[in-house]
Amino acid sequence: MELRWQGAQKKEAGFWIRPGVLDSELERIKARYVPVINELSRTLKKDAKILDVGCGPTCAGRFFPSGNKTYIDPLMDIYLEAFPERLPPGERLKGLAEAIPKEDNTFDLILCINALDHMIDPEKALLEMRRVLKPRGILLLGIFLHPRPIAMVRRIVERYLPFLREEAHPYSFTLRDMRSLLEGFFSVEREIRVFRKENSLFPRLHREDWAFICRKA
């Protein structure tokens, strides 16, 4: 898996340094996630500790109006070099979700947007996020989910036809997969479909962007 992941990360690094990408991806975050972030921010204390896992250069945690923020991403050095003036202030760590360098029960809120299906081991990453969340802390998980037949085809391609696979995403999840994965770690309080490609001929065949608001017991 490590080797597969390294290939995905190479692709990812290439994606983010394309001209104009950061601006358009920030628009994605604003349109789909800022309404949820605004809602959650009303429940947080001003000095809440917030961790953005797999933050990319968009660093969606920046949209929380207050809080002590930490950003972690294995490509952080590349993002710092490519966008020295565009990453938000806060603690910026180069590291993996599977081994978050923080003590147990540290954060009030963790967000992880469009990153879980890029990781080496999503289950281990969720376990780590739960570990560093305070009791009753919130995880805002954002993820692209595929219709069942598409996810099945993607998995077959991933396993047996690697030359055809989509390099950046080692994993393909459905809504049902994500529900059962999250329920093993958190109590899922809300599921919000934040984007669907309505203007396509067959919207049901496209991946959809979902937000899950989860709480640590």
Q: How far is the CB of 201 from ligand SAM (least distance, A)?
A: 26
Number of shown-chain residues binding ligand SAM (CB under 6 A): 21
Q: How far is CA 42 from CA 36, 66, 139, 215, in A?
A: 10, 10, 15, 16
Q: How far is CA 139 from CA 13, 25, 111, 217, in A?
A: 26, 21, 6, 11
Stretch that binds ligand SAM, among 70-78, 81-89, 130-138, 154-162 (CB under 6 A): 70-78
- Is 58 a binding residue for ligand SAM by CB under 6 A? The answer is yes
User: Rg of the chain over CA atoms, in angstroms?
Assistant: 17
Would residue 138 be called left, alpha or beta, if left means φ above 0 and alpha means ψ between -120 and 50 degrees? beta
Q: How far is the CB of 122 from ligand SAM (least distance, A)?
A: 9
- Is 100 a binding residue for ligand SAM by CB under 6 A? The answer is no
Q: Which is nearer to ligand SAM, 18 or 46 (CB)?
A: 18
Q: What is Dmax (Cα atoms) for the chain?
A: 50
Q: Which is nearer to ligand SAM, 17 or 46 (CB)?
A: 17
Measure the CA–CA gap between 66 and 62, rounded to whole angstroms: 9
Nearest CA to 62 out of 24, 101, 30 is that of 30
Measure the CA–CA gap between 111 and 59, rounded to whole angstroms: 10
Q: Which is nearer to ligand SAM, 121 or 191 (CB)?
A: 121
Q: Which is nearer to ligand SAM, 73 or 108 (CB)?
A: 73
Stretch that binds ligand SAM, among 71-79, 176-184, 185-193, 203-211 (CB under 6 A): 71-79
- Is 120 a binding residue for ligand SAM by CB under 6 A? The answer is yes
- Is 128 a binding residue for ligand SAM by CB under 6 A? The answer is no
| Contact positions vs ligand SAM (CB under 6 A) | 9, 12, 25, 53-56, 58, 60, 73-75, 96-98, 113-115, 118-120
